[in-house]
Structure 1
Amino acid sequence: MKRLGLHEIRREFLEYFRENGHIVAPSFSLVPKDDPSLLLIGAGMAPLKKFFTGEKTPPGKRMTTCQKCLRTGDIDNVGQTDRHATFFEMLGNFSFGDYFKREAINWAWTFLRENLEIPEEDLWVTVFEEDHEAAKIWEEEIGLAKEKIVPLGKEDNFWELEVGPSGPCSEIYVDRGEEFGCGNPDCKPGCECDRFIEVWNLVFTQFDKDKEGNYHPLSHPNIDTGMGLERIATVLQGTDNIFEIDALQEVLHKVEDLSNYKYKTDKKLDISVRVITDHIRAITFLIGDGVIPSNEGRGYVLRRLLRRAASHGRKLGLDQPFLADIAKVVMDSWSVNYEELTSRRTMILEVISKEEEKFHETLETGMALLEDQVKDLKDKNEKVLSGERAFKLYDTYGFPVDLTNEILKDYGMTVDFDGFQSQMQAQKERARSARDDSNMGWEAGEEELKLDFKTDFTGYEKMQDTSKVLALVCQGHEVQSLQEGQEGLVIVEKTPFYPEGGGQIADTGQISWSQGRAQVLDTQKTKNGTIYSRVKVSQGNLEVGSQLDLEVDQDRRKAIMRNHSVTHLLHAALREVLGQHVQQSGSEVRDDWMRFDFSHYKPMTPEEVKAVEDRVNEMILANVPVSKELLAYNEAKQEGAIGLFEGKYGEKVRVVTMGDFSKELCGGTHVEATGDIGSFKILSESGIAAGVRRIESTTGFNVLKLLRDYETSHKALAAKLKTNEQNLLDRVDQVLQQQKELRKEVEDFKKQVASSDLDSSLSQVKEVNGISYITGILENVDGENLRNLAEETRDRHAPVVVVLASVMEDKVLFASAVTKELTKQVQAGKLIGKVAKIAGGGGGGRPDFAQAGGKDPAKVQEAIDAVEKFLAE
C-alpha cells in the first residue's frame, strides 16, 4: 500500500474525483443550514440531502467533498476504546441523476488499487443479496473473484429512511490478515471479528419508498458514497486505531508533552489522553463554525466536550488551563484544508481559554459542594449519592460525574449512575429540542408559571395602541400589581410591541395609564405564543385590568425596519452578483446595525463588495413598494418566495415582496417602500465558518452619522499630522518611514546594549559532565533579539549549550541554542521546555534551537539555575 498521511489522502481523493468531472465543494459547516431536523452534521451526505430529494438544485450533477462530521451518541465510549470518536471527516463522491453503479464501482476500485496501491488480494466487497446488477459489475467488469463478493441481507446492505429515497449498497473491505481474525477458515466480511475493516460504502439510491413501504424506481437514480478519512488512514499507515495515525499522533504527543505522561504506560491514564486528543479536534472545529459554549443545543454539546476534556486533563496532572495549547496543534495541522481555522484562530483560542478558566473556577465551587454532600451522607449513614444530586453538581456547577465518583471512592461511597443517566437523558431531550433559531426569552420562574394568554400583535399596522392588562409577573411569580420602581412582565390583550424573533430585536418604548407610566425595556414571546413586555414602572402602580396606552419608540422601530428590509435587498443582490447558490444562514437586525450570514465558498473580492453595495442602493433609489400578504405555504413557494428554516412555518405564511427584486417569507416589520431605507453601507465582509460569510452593514441616518464621523476623524488626523486633508496619505507615508528608521535605530541600540551586558556578565564558560554551557538573564530584550544573541553566543563559544532569559514586565522569554555536534547529548527543545516550566510556561523547538515563554518573572533565576541540574541529568 502507498503510505500516505491523513492530509495527503484527503487531497488525493478530492483531486481524483475532480479529474473525473466532479465539482469539489468545500466542507459544509458542522452547523446544519436550513435543516431543523439536525443538531449537527453527522454524515457526509447530510448537507446534500435536499439535492437528493430534488428540493434544491445542486451546483452540478457530480460533486465530491470531505465533510466535517460530529457525533456524540457514543461520547461516553470515547477514550474507553481505540475506535470511538466524536469528530471525523467523511470522504464522498455524489451523483444527482448522472452516473450510477458502473461508474461508482469502477472509480472506487481504481482509486483504491491505483492511487492508494492497496493489493487486490486484500480487497473484498459486500452487496445486497438481491442486487445482482452490482454483483455482476464486481465480478465481470472489475474481475473480482466470486468468492470475494459477499451477499448480505437488508439489515446490512440496504439504506433507507421511513419514506423517501432508498436503495442497496455495496461496501468495500480490507483484509487485515489472519492475526486479526477469529480463526474460522470461512471468516469473511460480515463476521464480527476485527479481520475485515470496512473502508468505503457505495449507496445506490434507486428507489422512492412510500408510506405503505412500497419501493418505486426513481427515474434518475443517485449515488451517495462515504469513506471515513481516519479509517482509511489507519489502513494505509498500518496502525491498529485512529489515535496512531500521523495527524492525530501530533495532537497526542502535545498532550504527552504538556502532561509529562508517556502514553501506553497506564491504561486508565491512556483513556484521558485519548479523550483529550479526540475532543480537542471537535472543540476546535465547532468554535471555528461559530458555535459558542452554552447550556442548550449545539452550545451544550461544545461545553460538555470542553469540560470533559479539561477534567481528564486534571487526571494527567494538568491543573491549569491547557486546551488552547493543544488546539494550536489542531489548527496548525488541519488549516491546510480548513481556512476557518486560520481566519478564526484568535477567536477559537479565546473561547477555549475563557471557557476552561471558567470551568476551573466551577471545579473549586463543586469541590466545596461535594464535601457538603459527603458530610450529609455520613450523617445519614448512606453510601450512595443520588443521581439527582450528582446531576445537579454536573449540570448546575459543571462538576463531572466521573470526578464526583472518584472522590467518593476515597470515602467508600459511589454515585447512583442509573439515576444520573436518567437525569442526563432528560437533559439531552431538552437540549435536542433546543434550536439556535429559537428565541423564547424564558427564565425558570416564567416557565413554571406556564403563562398561556392569547395576545394579538398589531405592530404591523400601528406603533400606538390601547389594551387591557391580562397578567403581571414579578421575580417569577404572578402578581396583581407592580409598584413604582419595580421591574416585571406585562401581558396585554393586544400589543404593537414586536417580540424578538427571526433575527429582529425587540421593540422598546413606553406604556401609560391614568395615574402612571412605565418604560418598556424588552418584548419577548413564549413557546405557546404569549407576547410579554418587560417593563420598569417609573410612576404610579400598575394593576391587572388597567387600561393602557402603548407606544413603541418610533424612531428606533423605523431604524430597525430599515435594517430589516435591507437584509432582503442584500440577499437578492448577493444572489445576483455571486450566484444563485447564495442562501441566508442567519441574521441579526438592530436599530444601528445589522449582520447578514450567507453561504458562499470563498471570500468576496473588493470589487464584488462594491458591486453588491451599489446594487442594493440602486434598489433603494428605485423606491418600489414593499407589500406584505398572508398566503398558503405551498402557494408562496409556487410564487418563488424564498423561505428559510422551513420547519418554523405553519399553513399560512407572511410573504414580503419588494418589486421584482425580492420575495421572501418573513414575520418581521418592514418599511412601506424601498426608498424609506434611505441609503446602505457595508461595514465589513468576513468568513465565520467554512462556506459561510458574514456582512455587517447599516442604513439610513446611521450612514450619515458614519460619514460625519469619518469627516471629523479625517480633519482631526490631518491637524495632528500638520498637513492638509489632500496630502494626508503622503504625510502618513512619511511618518511611517520615519518610524521605521527610528525603530531600527532603537533595535540596533538595544542589541548593542544586550550584547555588552552579555559579554560583561559571562566572563567564563561553565561545565558539567563534560558539556560546556552558558546562561544569562537580560532585561527587556524581545524574542527576535534574544534569539540572535543566543545563536551568536553559541557560534562564538562552540561547542556549547546556551540558555538565555529575558524579563519583560510580567512575562519571561527563554531561548536555547546548542552546537549541532552536542545535540545527540542535549536537545534545545527538550531543555527549554523543562526550564520554562519552572517559570510557569512552556515551549519547544528544534534540537539546535528553541524558544519558550514563562508567566512568572520571580522564578526566572530559579529556572536559569536549574540548567546545570538538567544537564547533569
Structure 2
Amino acid sequence: AAVSIDLTLQGAIDQLAAAAVATTFTGYQSLERSSVVLALVVNGEPAQQATAGDRVQLLLDGTPFYGEGGGQVGDRGVLVGAAGNDLKVTIDSVSRNRGVFVHSGTVDRGCLAVADSVVARVDRLSRSRAQANHTATHLLQAALKQLVDPSIAQAGSLVDFERLRFDFHSPRAVSLEELEQIEVLINGWISEAHALEVAEMAIDQAKAAGAVAMFGEKYGELVRVVDVPGVSMELCGGTHVANTAELGAFKIIAESGVAAGIRRIEAVAGSALLPYLNQRDGVVKALGERFKVQPTEILERVALLQEELKATGKALAAAQEELALVKASALLNQAETVGDYQILVARLDGIGADGMQTAAQQLQEQLGDGAAVLLAGVPEPAKVTLVVAFGPELIKRGLQAGKFVGVVAKACGGGGGGRPNLAQAGGRDPGALPGALAAARFELLELLSA
C-alpha cells in the first residue's frame, strides 16, 4: 500500500531539528531519565504547548528512547510529568533527524509545554524484545558465515518488537538442512550463555580486531563494537542483551529471495517467540479438531484428503464427459445438410470445457468426414466456452478450426485457437453468445455452399 507523507509535518520537524543540538542518548545505561522539553510540534504545527488528545512530536535535551536506526525500530514508552504535574504522553515511535531524536506520540492527559521537566520511561518489554531480536541478527550472520559461506555479507535488516529480518548477499538459496543447522548452532550459543562485551574504540582498531562492518555504511572515527566472544564481533549502535541466554530460543520462520543475489531470513527470538508459537499451536489444534486426529496425524490426514479430492475430481470429470455425450446425442437431429456437408451449431450449457470437447469430437465423427461442429456454453457467470471440430473434407477445402473458433471467440470478448481439426476458445461476454453463434452458422453455410 502507498505510504502517505505529511510534508507540512515533516517540514516542521526538519526546521526544529536543524535548530537543535544533537540529543544526548542515555538508553544504553538506563531506561528512565529526567528530561526537559526543548521543542514541540502539535498536530503538525510548531507550538508552545499541547493538551489531552493532541498528536505531538517533541525534542528533549536527553533521552533513554532509542531512535530508529541501524535497522532497529525506535523505542516505545511514556513521558510523565515531574513535580506533581499529572501529565502522561504515550510515545509510540522515535526517529532521528540530523542526530536529533524526535519523539512522536499522543497526550493522554494533562498539559505539555516547552521547557517542562518530564520523566521519560522506555517500555521494558518492547525494548527487551527489540534487543533480543537485534542480538539474534548478529548470531545469525555469524552462523551463515560459518555454515553457508564465509563471504556472506549483510545487505540490510529490520529489527522490531515481534521478529527480525536479515537480508544478505548470497548467490544461492539456503537449503532446509542448512537452516536447521543454523537454528541448532544459534540455540547452542544461546544455551552457552555468552556475556556480550560492548566497547567504543577507534574504527581502525575495531577493524584490526576483526569487527564486521556493513558494506557501504559510513562510520565515524569512533565506533561502538558489540562482541559476542568467540562468536561474533560487529560495529553496531543498536541495543542488545547482556547475555545470549536472555534470548531463550531462536526460530527461523522463513527464507526467501528478495532480489538478484540477495536472500532474506525472517526469525523470532526471546519473549516474542512465545506468541508466535502460541499462534502456530492454535492453528495445529484447530486443524486437529477439524480433522478429528492427533496433531502428529494431521499431515497424513491432509495427504489422504488430497488423494480423495483428486479421485473425486477425476470421477466428476468422467461424469461430466458422460453427461456431455448424452446431451450431445440429442443434438444430432439439429444438424443441417449443405450439399455433401453437415453443419451443427448448438449450445451445450452446464458442461465443462473438457466434456464439451469430447462431445464435439464425437458429434463430428458421427456426422461424418464432411461435418462442421460448433458447440458453445456458459459454464459459469461471465465465462463462455467454445469448441469447433472440423472433419477431413472441410480441412481439404482450406477451413481450419483454430482460426474459425478465434473469430467466434472475439465476438464474445475472448480468444483462443487450436489445430485445424479441433480447437477451443473462451470469452467473457455471455450476452454476445447468441449473436456470435448465429453469425458463425451463417458463415459456415456461406463457405460450404460455394
Normalised by the size of structure 2, how large is the TM-score?
0.83
Contact 2:352–2:379 (8 Å) recurs in 1: no
What's the counterpart of residue 634 of structure 1?
Answer: 204
**Is the partner of 1:613 in helix, strand or coil?**
helix
Cα drift, residue 538 of structure 1? 1.5
Q: 1:593 aligns with which of 138, 157, 163?
A: 163
Q: Does 1:808 align with 2:380?
A: yes
| Runs of 4+ off more than 6 Å | 292-295, 767-772, 869-873
Counterpart Cα distance in 2 of 1:579 and 1:670? 25
Counterpart Cα distance in 1 of 2:92 and 2:339? 74
Counterpart Cα distance in 2 of 1:842 and 1:502? 53
What's the counterpart of residue 523 of structure 1?
Answer: 94
Cα drift, residue 852 of structure 1? 4.7
Q: 1:494 aligns with which of 62, 66, 78?
A: 62
Q: Deviation string for 1:814-872 (max 9, x for gaps)?
A: 45555677399455555555444444444555665555554444444445445457767
Contact 2:199–2:224 (8 Å) recurs in 1: yes
Contact 1:786–1:806 (8 Å) recurs in 2: no
What's the counterpart of residue 676 of structure 1?
Answer: 246
What's the counterpart of residue 152 of structure 2?
Answer: 582
**Is the partner of 2:104 in helix, strand or coil?**
strand
Contact 1:595–1:696 (8 Å) recurs in 2: yes
Q: Which amino acid aligns with 2:96?
A: K
What's the counterpart of residue 739 of structure 1?
Answer: 309
Counterpart Cα distance in 2 of 1:492 and 1:860? 72
Q: Which amino acid aligns with 1:516?
A: L
Cα drift, residue 614 of structure 1? 0.9
Q: 1:446 aligns with which of 4, 10, 23?
A: 10
User: Higher strand proportion, which one?
Assistant: 2
Cα drift, residue 637 of structure 1? 2.3
- RCO comparison, higher one (Cα < 8 Å, 6+): 2
Stretches of structure 1 that go unaligned for 5 or more consecutive residues are 1-291, 296-440
The 1:495/1:755 distance shift into structure 2, 3 A limit, reads: farther
What's the counterpart of residue 255 of structure 2?
Answer: 685
**Which runs of structure 2 are paired with 1:551-570 in the superposition (5 Å)?**
551-570=121-140
Counterpart Cα distance in 1 of 2:234 and 2:150? 15
**Is the partner of 1:720 in helix, strand or coil?**
helix
Q: Deviation string for 1:132-162 (max 9, x for gaps)?
A: xxxxxxxxxxxxxxxxxxxxxxxxxxxxxxx
**Which runs of structure 2 are paired with 1:350-389 in the superposition (5 Å)?**
none
Q: Which amino acid aligns with 1:443?
A: L
What's the counterpart of residue 226 of structure 2?
Answer: 656
**Is the partner of 2:330 in helix, strand or coil?**
helix
What's the counterpart of residue 71 of structure 2?
Answer: 503
**Is the partner of 1:693 in helix, strand or coil?**
strand
Counterpart Cα distance in 2 of 1:656 and 1:870? 81
Task: Note the aligned Cα RMSD (angstroms).
Answer: 3.4
Q: Deviation string for 1:51-75 (max 9, x for gaps)?
A: xxxxxxxxxxxxxxxxxxxxxxxxx
Counterpart Cα distance in 1 of 2:407 and 2:50? 64
Counterpart Cα distance in 1 of 2:153 and 2:62? 35
Contact 1:466–1:550 (8 Å) recurs in 2: yes
Q: Which amino acid aligns with 2:59?
A: I
Counterpart Cα distance in 2 of 1:864 and 1:561? 69
**Is the partner of 2:162 in helix, strand or coil?**
coil
Q: 1:550 aligns with which of 101, 120, 126?
A: 120
Counterpart Cα distance in 1 of 2:253 and 2:194? 25
Counterpart Cα distance in 2 of 1:294 and 1:864? 50
Contact 2:329–2:363 (8 Å) recurs in 1: no
Question: Whose radius of gyration is greater, 1 or 2?
Answer: 2
Cα drift, residue 809 of structure 1? 3.4
Counterpart Cα distance in 1 of 2:217 and 2:257? 26
Q: Does 1:624 align with 2:189?
A: no
Cα drift, residue 642 of structure 1? 1.9
Q: Deviation string for 1:756-789 (max 9, x for gaps)?
A: 3344356434689998665454545445445544
Stretches of structure 2 that go unaligned for 5 or more consecutive residues are none
User: Higher helix proportion, which one?
Assistant: 1
**Is the partner of 2:334 in helix, strand or coil?**
coil
Aligned-pair identity (%): 33
Q: 2:45 aligns with which of 470, 477, 494?
A: 477
**Is the partner of 1:450 in helix, strand or coil?**
helix
**Which runs of structure 2 are paired with 1:420-435 in the superposition (5 Å)?**
none
Normalised by the size of structure 1, how large is the TM-score?
0.45
**Which runs of structure 2 are paired with 1:318-329 in the superposition (5 Å)?**
none
What's the counterpart of residue 822 of structure 1?
Answer: 395
Contact 2:135–2:240 (8 Å) recurs in 1: yes
Contact 1:583–1:598 (8 Å) recurs in 2: yes
Counterpart Cα distance in 2 of 1:621 and 1:487? 44
Cα drift, residue 810 of structure 1? 4.3
Counterpart Cα distance in 2 of 1:847 and 1:788? 16
**Which runs of structure 2 are paired with 1:386-425 in the superposition (5 Å)?**
none
